[in-house]
A = this chain, B = another copy of it.
Amino acid sequence: MAPGPIDKSQVPQATVPRLARYLRVLHRLEREGVPKVSSKELAERLDANAAQIRKDFSYFGEFGVRGVGYEVEYLIDQLSRCLGVSEKWKVIILGAGKLGSALARYRGFQEEGFELVGVFDSSQRVAGSDIDGVTVRPERELPEFLQENPVDIAILTVPGEVAQLVADKVIAGGVRGIVNFAPARLASVDGVFIRQVDLSTELMVVSFYLSKECSPR
C-alpha cells in the first residue's frame, strides 16, 4: 500500500517543534556517519521520551523497523520535506526596534532555508539605516515591496497596538505565515498560519510548573 500525503491538520502543533529538534540531531548523526538509529538512542541523545518519539514519527507513516531502527538519511529526507527545510522561504521582519534588530542580526535561521529579504520600520529615524547589510525600509513601502518581491513569512516585532494593522498589510500582500513576537493576539485568517511567541506567556509556562498552589477549591 502506497501511503498517501500527510494531512497536516492532524499533526498536533505541539509535535512540530519536536520534529525540528529531531531533524537537528539526525543531521548530527549523519555527520558522525551513523546509518541507523533506534527511538531509544534518539531519546537518549535528545533527553526525551522514546514512546513520544515513536508517536511523533507515526504521523508520517511507518518509518521504523522494530529491532533495526530508523534509517537516518531517509528520516532526514522525510522530516526536511515535511518541515519545508528543503525549500527556500523569503522572510521579512516588521519593526526594527531592539528585538527586530536582534532577530535580523541572528542569522542562524538562514542556514535552515530562511532568507531575510527585508526589514521594515514605521519610524523615519530608523528607516534607511543598515543591519548587517540589510537596509531598513520605511513601512509605507511595504505594499509595493510585496508586489515586487513575493514573501512567505513575516516576523512581527512591532508594538502590540499596531500588530493587527501590520499583520493585515502583510496578509494583503500575500504573506501566508506569521511569527508574531508582538504582545497582541492576531485574528486568524483562512490560509494564513500564525505562530504567537510572547515572553509573558513563556514566563507563565515556567511559573505554572514552579507554582505549588494549584488545586480546585
A binding-site residues for B, Cβ under 8 Å: 3-6, 8, 11-14, 16-17, 19-21, 46-47, 60-63, 78, 81-87, 89, 91, 97-99, 101-103, 105-106, 108-109, 112-114, 152-153, 155, 176-179, 183, 185, 187-188, 193, 195, 197, 199-211, 213-216
Contact = CB atoms under 8 A, between A and B. Distances in A.
Main SS at interface, chain A = mixed
Contacts of A91: 203
Contact of A210 (B46, B89, B187, B215): B89
B207 A85 contact: yes
Given A16-B205, A205-B195, A8 B214 contact: yes
Q: Among the interface residues A60, A62, A85, A216, which one has the most CB atoms of the partner chain B within 10 A?
A: A216
